Amino acid sequence: MATVGQFKGTTVCGAAVLGAVLMHAPVQAQTVDPRIEKLVSSVSEARLQTLLQKLSSFKTRNTCSDPNAPDSIGAARQWIYDELKRTSPKLQVSFDTHQVQSIRGCQGTIELRNVMAVLPGKSPRRIYVSGHYDSLNLGSGGQQTSNAGATGAQGATGARGAQGAQTRPGAEPQAPGEPPAPNQQRPARDPNVVAPGANDDGSGTVLSMELARVFAESGIDFDATLVFMTVAGEEQGLVGAGAHAKKAKDEKTPIQAWFNNDIVGGSHGGDGSIDGATIRIYSEGPEDSPSRSLAQFAARIGAIYVPNHRVRLMARRDRFSRGGDHSALNAQGFAAIGFRESRENYAKQHGANDTIDGVDFTYLAQNARVNAAGMATLALAPPPPVVTNERGAPSIDRRTSGYDAHLRWQASPGAAGYRIFWRNAWAPDWEHELTVGAVTEYTFPKMNIDDWVFGVAAIDAAGHESSISAYVTPPRAATEGGH
């Protein structure tokens, strides 16, 4: 296994201050696993194209369209189901069905069906990848016109729409010049008009379907259970993801991480810019939240396995006045991140012209590989260490001296060791790291815990590293008993 250096070792932040124990500690960076390299390289551009050709050929996948029409959402979701089913006998394919009332723009009760393929692992903890298969046609102008009138009312987006109320939905914008009116019923659009949704979000849908094949055929025995999800009802307010997330929370399903991909296939921006070499990841804060940690992890692992494709981390939930399914997971307390292409073409979103010619399959495949690298590493590594006590307070103290940094964590199943990270308390990203053995506490002499941020990751014997759990004071709302 080759070793890839990602961080400075122990030499930087004053070894004299830290003491001799640090100077002699071994520092091994994240290792490269040839099996993951193989898995990542097996993502097929050609299959992504074949899948999207079929998916975008249905007349519409609008949530409110007639499910019994031969070429609409009912037929499309059945095709996704059948395609996943024939992909591999290792995949457990099912409809995740929810009856939802009062979806704006729809008549009566709507049966939403997320389509999911589960690849069972040794442990029940789950890692998801998703795209939403429903599509939308707003009529003339599409998203381009709507963005021009956007007020940036991001606070109104997100998973509150998941309850199916008439909340302003995550993805659907208001018309130009229209004031924000969260509770105002707008005239219904015809849900049965043509809406190919090739990029939004056929791209994320076929990415998830292709990764189902790649992981199932990899022959790797993953520790985590992997779930490949194509989600319904996103355009009406993250309804399908919200219903799944709520159920998962109620049933205490251990969702460790969720990689949401929404509009990830275009390399040509509407302003003439071109970028086929980067992808954005959005994540809900505050800093060091589980979602931010997951985003950093995805960027770090992506750089190792897909070095010619750069992740651009965005320290915000999503774009202005836009939303995505990862926010519905965040709303139920799960770590989830949103992948977005770097250069959007708003004129080709939410209209009849969101066609397959707007998708760059070389680019989409690279984005799939970044997802695959992060998911595979996360699924092989031990779960991230728990660094809080029963009340949610960080397990960090100053020892009896009052001036040392004393870190404790709960042992992660399967961990052969741990890696401690730290940085200046104003720095955005980790600066230093130290690998320690199979211990569950560590002391840095004469380091003031008020001046540094500490985090710890779990590592298995083969070197797979988990995401980093940081020692942070819980957000005030949580401290005061919920929100």
Q: Which residues, in sequence order, are bridge partners of residue 421?
A: 433, 455
Only segment of 142-150, 199-207, 220-228, 394-402 that touches Zn ion (CB under 5 A): 199-207
Residue number with CB closer to Zn ion (172 or 465): 172
Measured from the CB atom, the residue of 326 and 406 that comes closer to Zn ion is 326
Q: State whether residue 201 is helix, strand or coil.
A: helix
**Smallest separation (angstroms) from Zn ion to the CB of 129:** 15
Stretch that binds Zn ion, among 146-154, 257-265, 355-363, 377-385 (CB under 5 A): 257-265
Which range in 10-18, 82-90, 141-149, 201-209 contacts Zn ion by CB under 5 A?
201-209
Query: Given the structure tokens 């590493």, which residue do they identify?
Result: 377
Q: Would you say 421 and 13 are in contact if contact means Cβ atoms under 8 Å apart? A: no
Q: Which stretch in 66-74, 193-201, 394-402, 432-440 sits in contact with Zn ion by CB under 5 A?
A: 193-201
CA distance 234 to 131: 9
Minimum distance between the CB of residue 108 and Zn ion, rounded to whole angstroms? 24
Nearer to Zn ion, 262 or 318 (CB): 262
Nearest to Zn ion of 223, 262 (CB atom): 262
Burial per residue of 25-34, b for 16 or more beta-carbon CB atoms within 10 angstroms, e otherwise:
bebbbbbebe
Least spacing, CB of residue 134 vs Zn ion, in Å:
8
Q: Which stretch binds Zn ion (CB under 5 A): 200-208, 359-367, 410-418, 435-443?
A: 200-208
Q: Which listed residue (33, 83, 210, 262) binds Zn ion by CB under 5 A?
A: 262
Minimum CB separation of residue 104 from Zn ion in Å reads: 16
Assess 201 for contact with Zn ion (CB under 5 A): yes
- Verify binding: residue 172, Zn ion, rule CB under 5 A: no
Which H helix or E strand runs over 127?
Answer: strand 126-132
Nearer to Zn ion, 224 or 243 (CB): 243
**CB-based contacts of 281: which residues, under 8 Å, 6+ apart?**
295, 298, 299, 311, 312, 313, 314, 337, 338, 339, 340
Task: Check the CA dihedral 318-161-51-356 and report its sign.
Answer: negative
Q: From the CB of 262, what's the least distance to Zn ion, in Å?
A: 4
Residue 323 token pair: 């939303």
Which residues 6+ apart lie within 8 Å of 37 measured at CB? 305
HSE-CB for 167 with a 13 A CA cutoff: 21
Report the C-alpha gap between 279 and 284 in whole angstroms. Answer: 17
Peptide bond into 173 cis (omega under 30): no
**Is 200 one of the binding residues for Zn ion (CB under 5 A)?**
yes
Beta bridge partners of 453: 423
What is the distance between the alpha carbons of residues 236 and 100, in angstroms, rounded to a whole number? 11
Q: Please report whether residue 284 would count as binding Zn ion according to CB under 5 A.
A: no
- Closest separation in Å from C-beta 66 to Zn ion: 21
Whole-number minimum distance, CB 210 to Zn ion, in Å?
A: 18
Asked if 325 interacts with Zn ion (CB under 5 A), we say: no
* Closest distance of CB 231 from Zn ion, Å: 10
Q: How far apart are CA 239 and CA 151, in angstroms?
A: 23
Least distance from C-beta 325 to Zn ion, angstroms? 8
Nearer to Zn ion, 61 or 464 (CB): 61
- Give the SS3 label for residue 337: strand
Chain contacts with Zn ion (rule: CB under 5 A):
200-201, 262
